[in-house]
A and B are shown apart, each in its own frame.
Chain A
Amino acid sequence: MKKITSNEYLLLVFRIIIACVFILASIQKIMYPASFANSIINYRLVPDLLINILAVILPWLELICGILLLIGHQVKETILIINILLVSFLILIFIALLRGLDISCGCFGANSEMVGIRKIIENSILLLGGILLQIYNSKKYSINTIN
């Protein structure tokens, strides 16, 4: 099992997929932060004062982490941030489902899928990949770190 999960090509695939998902997810949210703020509001969990700050900062964090992950720079550090984000998103979606909220997940901006089991499954798969990358790292086809 360890041979499979630590396979460098499998880890590379996870690294690329997670990176691309985060980069794509960030673009529309960076272009339309007000719309993303509305998506955050819909979860009815975040204090009012934090909504806009999160709407502005989160997409850029996703983009920069996605790019760093894609080029393989500081993979362990970047994937830690991404894993924290994924766990947070999973918790938010789960709570929204428990509350019966019929809302867009806001994952890729306002025109995103509604919250549901599918979103939980998708995020869980990404998180699984993220955990493997956290444990084993991925240096295949990556920029050498300086230090």
Chain B
Amino acid sequence: MNKINYNKVVYIVVISIIIAIIYNHFSMTGIPLIKKKVVFVQPQNYNIEPITLETAFEMHGNDSVIFVDARENIEYKEDHIEGSINIPYYDTLIKTDLINTLDKSKKYVVYCDDEKCGLSKMLAVKMYENNIKNVFILTGGWQLWLSAELPTSKEQLK
């Protein structure tokens, strides 16, 4: 049985650390290595309501309600809930004005792919932290909407 060379284990770890730090430094999506303050939050901490498909459908088409697709733009372009706008969650990590420009008097229903997807929850929390208090999460997301054959569109809205 071959023995493990622990020097090589250390070597692999150290090389990985060095490459990681260098890449992070030059990357556009790089983050500070030391995070000073962290606030843990989940949607229920802010009382952000998950809503059912029925409720979402009732709200759909109402002028004061905007549906927000939290998925990547490429998925949004393929198809999305009719009338929804696209705010890819990952983009909000580097572009702060995506949420700041939203009308705070409106209600927002956020969705992503399905109930396993975490993007809608994270985007809803981020919106709430940016003073958009009337935000809801569509439980089951896009897959549920699609399976119920509710209105969809490929038209991109901003």
Contact = CB atoms under 8 A, between A and B. Distances in A.
Interface of A: 30-35, 37-39, 41-42, 44, 48-49, 51-53, 55-57, 59-61, 64-65, 68, 74, 76-78, 80-81, 102-104, 110-114, 135-137
Given A77-B12, A112-B118, 16 more contacts: A33-B30, A34-B31, A35-B89, A35-B93, A37-B31, A49-B35, A57-B17, A64-B12, A76-B3, A77-B4, A77-B6, A78-B12, A81-B12, A110-B89, A111-B112, A114-B118
Nearest to A51: B35
Nearest to B20: A60
Interface stretch (B36-44, B58-66, B78-86): B36-44
A102 B137 CA distance: 14
Contacts, number: 113
Contacts of A74: 5, 8, 12
B148 interface: no
B29 to A, nearest CB: 6
B36 A48 contact: yes
B29 A51 contact: no
A76 B2 contact: yes
Interface in B1-31: 1-6, 8-9, 12-13, 15-17, 19-21, 23-24, 27, 29-31
Interface of B: 1-6, 8-9, 12-13, 15-17, 19-21, 23-24, 27, 29-38, 40, 42, 89-90, 93-94, 112-113, 116-119, 122
Nearest to A104: B118
Among A52, A111, A113, the most chain B Cβ lie within 10 Å of the Cβ of A111
A33 B118 contact: no
Contacts of A65: 12, 16
Given A33-B31, A42-B40, A49-B34, A60 B16 contact: yes
B118 A103 contact: yes
